[in-house]
Amino acid sequence: MMILVVMYHSMAFWLPGGWFNQRPVQESYALGLIASWLNSFHIYTFFLISGYVFYSMKYEKLKYIRFTEFVSTKAQRLLIPYSFVAIAWVIPIYCIFFRPSIGDLFEKFVLMESPSQLWFLIALFVIFVLFYPLSDFVNKHIIAGVCLMIFIYWIGLKASYFVPNVFQICSACRYILFFYLGFILRKLGISQLRRIPDTLFIMVDVGLFVLYTWINGMAGVYQAVALMTYFFLNVVGAVGAFVILERLAERIDIDSIIIRFFKSHSMEIYLFHQQVIYLVLTVGNGKIDAYILSAGCFVVSIMVSSIIAVGMNQFKLTKYLVSGKKK
């Protein structure tokens, strides 16, 4: 999933709404379309997996017993990397490319309304804080839990149109439903889902994406249809990606050097890759074919962020600052 996030950011430059401080000299509808498709499921899958692991840790391994200890642990794992990477890496490079005012920096990184790729850390932390007090109830009352999570999702969706996304609260409300979906999948098991062929997951997901792309932007009742289509696209995409990747994990050699490396450094690669893409785009925009430039963004960002990850993990202090882990 981390690799898919890097892939998405390597193509996001060609999204219709823009993504960087400049527009691509060489347009590519295909790259923008692939980026839009990836964006319809990759982050949703991350939250689903987080809920899946949360259930396992709390109700099977009997961890996360005390709320205060749980929040303290998650603050170390998420807020410390956020603070360090924002100050040492994201903000300085953001200032170079976007020339923000002090007010812009305060809103984006202190109020955390849009702190580049680091928003995920804050949204996940808020979800943990919101979900934990509800976890025992929604574990025992699944139907009521689904209704509650849909209600919170609806609040987050509506609020995002009217209020600033301070501390990623609106985002957390929108994604908590997918966190709970992963929670339920772990509780009930996925044996039934495993009977669904990969091709069927992909066909339904692509079909929903084509339908959404076609009706999105239409006026009137089509707006509501587009919204519902996108919701089901998110659900099918997240569940499908989880099941497909779970199957894939059974077929690959998890002890290979490459898999072990990414397993150990995926967090750091996620934290540092986006700003490397900014640099590659600045150098290559208008000078390199769009597809080669996108591939270059992916390869160079993986390589450079991997080197940074290895360097950070050489010392206890820097390892703690980017991972929140003391060991």
Taking residues 118-134, report their average pLDDT. Answer: 96
- The rounded distance, in Å, linking the Cα atoms of 2 and 17 is 23
Which pLDDT value is given to residue 218? Answer: 74
DSSP per-residue string spanning 129-183? HHHHHHHHHHHH-HHHHHHHHHHHHHHHHHHTTTS--GGGHHHHHHHHHHHHHHH
Q: How many helices (H) and strands (E) would you count in the chain?
A: 15, 0
Residue-level pLDDT at 227: 87
Number of Cβ within a 10 Å radius of residue 165? 22
**pLDDT score for 200:** 94
With 70 as the cut, is the pLDDT of residue 221 above it?
Answer: no
Single-letter residue type at 126? V
When pLDDT is averaged across residues 188-200 and rounded to a whole number, the result is 88
**Average pLDDT of span 71-78:** 94
Q: How far is the C-alpha of 170 from the C-alpha of 300, rounded, in Å?
A: 33
Q: Where are the beta strands (DSSP E) in the chain?
A: none
| Predicted confidence band of residue 226 (pLDDT cuts 50, 70, 90) | confident
- The CB density around residue 252, as the number of other CB atoms within 10 Å, is 10
User: How far is residue 83's CA from residue 324's CA, in Å, rounded to a whole number?
Assistant: 11
Q: How far is CA 138 from CA 132, 133, 145, 176, 232, in A?
A: 10, 10, 4, 12, 22
Please give the single-letter amino acid code of residue 309.
A
Checking if the pLDDT of 106 tops 80, the result is yes
Residue for token pair 């360097």: 311
For the segment 203-225, the average pLDDT, to the nearest whole number, is 86
Return the pLDDT at 222: 73
Cα-atom radius of gyration of the chain, to the nearest Å? 20
Mean pLDDT, rounded, of the chain: 93
Count CA atoms closer than 13 A to 21's CA, side-chain side. 15
pLDDT digits (tens, 9 = 90+) for 206-215: 999 999 998 8
Give the model's pLDDT for residue 327. 67
Section 188-193 average pLDDT: 86
Q: Which two tokens stand for residue 270?
A: 């996620």
Mean pLDDT over 250-269 rounds to 88
pLDDT for position 189: 87
Separation in Å, CA 249 to CA 240, 242, 243, 245: 14, 10, 10, 6
218: alpha, beta or left? (left if phi > 0; alpha if psi -120 to 50): beta
Instruction: Using the structure block, give the residue that is written with the tokens 């923000």.
Output: 100
Task: Let me know if 47 is exposed, middle or buried by CB neighbors in 10 A (0-12, 13-18, 19+).
Answer: buried
Percent of the chain at pLDDT exceeding 70: 98
* Region 74-87 average pLDDT: 95
Q: Is the pLDDT of residue 220 over 80?
A: no
Query: Measured over all CA atoms, what is the biggest interatomic distance in the chain, rounded to whole angstroms?
Result: 58
36-to-7, 8, 27, 232, 243 alpha-carbon distances in Å: 11, 8, 15, 15, 21
The confidence score (pLDDT) of residue 320 equals 92
**Lowest mean pLDDT across 14-28, 77-91, 117-131:** 14-28
Cβ 127 vs Cβ 175: under 8 Å: yes
Q: What pLDDT score was predicted for residue 251?
A: 85
Please determine, for residue 151, whether its predicted confidence score (pLDDT) is greater than 70: yes
In the predicted structure, residue 85 carries a pLDDT above the cut 70: yes
CA–CA distance, 182 with 22 (Å, rounded to integer): 38
Tell me how far apart the alpha carbons of residues 217 and 61 are, in angstroms, rounded to a whole number. Answer: 47
**Distance, CA of 29 to CA of 50 (rounded, Å):** 33
More confident residue, 221 or 60: 60
The pLDDT confidence band at residue 225, using thresholds 50, 70 and 90, is confident
Q: 228-238 pLDDT, tens per residue?
A: 999 999 999 99
Q: Tell me which of 217 and 304 has the higher pLDDT.
A: 304
